């Protein structure tokens, strides 16, 4: 089954404790991205990657890092989480080209205390 | 820069009644437009998309949307709402990235 998976689905952590949210897709997509969803703000892009070893900032990159060492994986790293990073996070992927739809993962609910 | 506005934060509709969700976009060229639905506690599901051609597009779950270039709008409609349509709906526009509106929450009353 074609899908985007994220782990963990739920995470409660404390300020300053480094964490990684994994994202993996099995569709051989070149383009992957991370979004955060906050009430009243919709989804905002954090980082995106056009291909392996190619990443770039989205609209709200501060406090986040990403890496793209393999085509299928695109982890989101919070080196020193803060409470304002409490949010719902979505990973997404799509094939190269304008007409391809974006597939979303199930989301990761992160709470930073 | 591209942007999307969903003017209605919350809409309440009776089951069986029609539904229309508004979406206005700002984008210089021909836009690629999308509507997604997010049921409570779930991820995002694509309802429909517009890339070119016929300005009235049909989607899943009985939804349709009409692209009106003159009004920079891409409104979503459903003729008869079911209780399972209660969800949050997001309009999005894409060039190299997907930009979302703030969302409209739909409540369905019996």
Residues A3-47 have pLDDT tens digits of: 999 999 999 999 999 999 999 999 999 999 999 999 989 999 999
Of the pLDDT bands very low, low, confident and very high (cuts 50, 70, 90), residue B30 is confident
Residue B67 has a pLDDT of 94
Q: How far is B62 from chain A (nearest CA, A)?
A: 19
Hey, is A86 helix, strand or coil? coil
User: pLDDT for B68-104, tens place per residue?
Assistant: 999 999 999 999 999 999 999 999 998 777 889 999 9
Residue B98 has a pLDDT of 84
Tell me which DSSP letter residue A101 carries. Answer: P
CA A22 to CA A12: how far, in whole Å? 15
> Tokens standing for A42?
């919709």
Residues from A contacting B (CB-CB < 8 Å) are 33, 35, 40-45, 48, 58, 90, 92, 98-99, 101-102, 104-107
Of the pLDDT bands very low, low, confident and very high (cuts 50, 70, 90), residue A72 is very high
Mean pLDDT of all residues in chain A? Answer: 94
Instruction: Please give the span between the terminal C-alpha atoms of chain A, in angstroms, as a whole number.
Output: 36
Q: Residue A71: pLDDT above 90? A: yes
């Amino acid at each position: 089954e074609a899908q985007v998976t994220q782990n963990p689905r739920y995470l409660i952590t404390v300020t300053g404790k480094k964490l990684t949210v994994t994202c993996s897709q099995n569709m051989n997509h070149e383009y992957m991205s991370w979004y955060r969803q906050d009430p009243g703000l919709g989804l905002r892009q954090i980082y995106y990657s056009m291909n392996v070893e190619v990443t770039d900032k989205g609209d709200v990159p501060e406090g986040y890092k990403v890496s793209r060492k393999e085509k299928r994986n695109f982890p989101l790293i919070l080196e020193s989480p803060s409470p304002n990073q409490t949010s719902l996070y979505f990973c997404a992927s799509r094939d190269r080209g304008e007409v391809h739809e974006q597939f979303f993962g199930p989301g990761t609910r992160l709470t930073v205390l | 820069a591209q942007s999307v506005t969903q003017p209605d934060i919350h809409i309440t509709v009776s089951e069986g009644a029609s539904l229309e969700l508004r979406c206005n976009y700002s984008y210089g060229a021909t836009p690629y437009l999308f509507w997604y639905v997010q049921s409570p506690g779930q991820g995002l599901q694509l309802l429909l998309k517009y890339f070119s051609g016929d300005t009235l597009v049909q989607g899943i779950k009985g939804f349709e949307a009409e692209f009106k270039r003159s009004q920079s709008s891409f409104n979503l409609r459903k003729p008869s709402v079911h209780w399972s349509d209660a969800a949050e709906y997001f309009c999005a526009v894409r060039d190299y990235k997907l930009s979302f509106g703030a969302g409209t929450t739909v409540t369905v009353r019996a």
